[in-house]
Structure formats: C-alpha cells, structure tokens
C-alpha cells in the first residue's frame, strides 16, 4: 500500500510560537550567566526553520502530500526545547531561550506516526552550553547517540527504545539558534535515522546566518 502523508498545506502548522514570556518559571527569573544584552533573532525569523511538509515528503519519498494532518502533541519532542525532558530525571532548563516555535505532523504510513520540530533563539552564547546539557541529560537517561553529519556549527543525534516504540532526535546549533527534529517510530528498525538526517539537513539550510562572533 502506498505511503501517504497527511497535511493541510505546504506551510508548517505552528502550534506554539512565543517571544519571551516563557511558560512557568522558564522566563521569570533570568540567571546571572544569561547575556540579555545580546537578544536572539525574532520568532518570525525562526519559524521558517521548522519542519515542512516538503521536507518530510522528500526525505521519506512519499508519492502524495495531500492527505495529511497537523498534530498538536509534543510527546515526540519530549516537551520541546523550552522544557526538554528526556526522562523523569533528565530536564534541560530553558532559561536563556528568548524566542521559540514548534510544530508537529501525524503521518499515516504506519512507520512514523508522529514527527515534530522545535526551534529556539538563545540570549548571548547560551545555545552552546544548552546543547552540552542535552548531551549530559541524554547520557543520564539512557539515550544512545547516533552519527549525524555536521550541520550548522554543531549537530547531535540520539535515539531510545521503549514501550511506545523508538524515538530519535537530532539537534542542530548555529550561533544563537538551535533546532530539534524528532521521529516516533512504531518499531526499532527501518530507515528512520537516515530519514531524520535528511529532514535535519533540509531544515539546516534555512537557519538564520549567525552573528559575527557567535
């Protein structure tokens, strides 16, 4: 049976777009190490980076892009960049995020039920230590790294299997901007890692050009 992607249009359905005013205490009390004098790009400059229907169709070699649906769940992203939780003891703080946006898709192929992406702009140089914190949390939570090509200035891929299937994520940083793209796979196997790399590669081409010195 032909694989079919469900989507309402070619523009990524953004289900969360925030400029400052982060949820809970994430934006309430800035830490002393956050350089608020160097704000990130505006959220309108970040949204084009998000995963698009065209990215998914190209990566998965789908014959049709007309039967898709957006998804509002952030389970695939494990709460996304502002509240990333790779396990119950693996939260990564998003205090230095000044702008972010995210989206998701439900794909009816039987292989990749859910796809999601998130992009964030960080104050100062905080994107770099944030990605370091992601690495430490992934190791602590039992995620396995997998090889990804260099995208942006830095890229990192992780995967884990559990009762809900297999999850895989790629993080790409360029200057003050970092994005996350993720797949939830029904089973361990197939080409989900290579498909995810293709999606991340397409997204990385749309990253804003980093400021000098970032």
Nearest to 106 by CA among 3, 188, 6: 6
* Three-class DSSP category at 58: helix
What is the C-alpha separation between 210 and 52, in angstroms, rounded?
22
Domains of the chain: 14-22+35-204 (3.40.1000.70)
Q: What pLDDT, on the 0 to 100 scale, is given for residue 51?
A: 95
Residue 195, Cβ neighbours under 10 Å: how many? 21
Q: What pLDDT, on the 0 to 100 scale, is given for residue 214?
A: 58
Query: Tokens representing 73?
Result: 């769940």
Averages of pLDDT over runs of 10 residues in the chain (214 residues) are 45 44 36 77 97 89 70 88 92 94 83 87 96 96 96 97 88 98 78 93 95 66
This prediction has a pTM of: 0.83
On whether the CB atoms of residues 68 and 54 are closer than 8 A, the answer is no
Query: Tokens representing 5?
Result: 């992607």
Nearest to 1 by CA among 70, 63, 65: 63
* Three-class DSSP category at 98: strand
């Amino acid at each position: 049976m032909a694989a079919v992607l469900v989507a309402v249009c070619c523009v990524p359905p953004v289900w969360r777009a925030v400029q400052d005013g982060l949820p809970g205490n994430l934006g309430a009390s800035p830490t002393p190490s956050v350089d608020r004098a160097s704000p990130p790009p505006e959220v309108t400059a970040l949204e084009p980076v998000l995963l698009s229907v065209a990215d998914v169709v190209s990566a998965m070699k789908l014959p049709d892009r007309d039967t898709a649906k957006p998804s509002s769940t952030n389970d695939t992203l494990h709460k996304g960049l502002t509240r990333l939780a790779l396990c119950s003891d693996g939260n990564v703080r998003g205090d230095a995020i000044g702008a972010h946006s995210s989206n998701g898709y439900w794909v009816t192929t039987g292989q990749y039920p859910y796809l999601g992406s998130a992009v964030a702009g960080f104050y100062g140089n905080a994107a770099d230590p944030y990605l370091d914190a992601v690495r430490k949390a992934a190791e602590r939570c039992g995620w396995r790294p997998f090889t990804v090509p260099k995208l942006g200035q830095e890229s990192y891929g992780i995967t884990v299997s559990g009762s809900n299937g297999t999850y895989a994520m790629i993080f790409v940083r360029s200057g003050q901007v970092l994005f996350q793209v993720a797949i939830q796979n029904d089973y361990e196997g197939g080409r989900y890692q290579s498909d995810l790399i293709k999606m991340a590669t397409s997204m990385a081409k749309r990253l804003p050009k980093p400021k000098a010195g970032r």
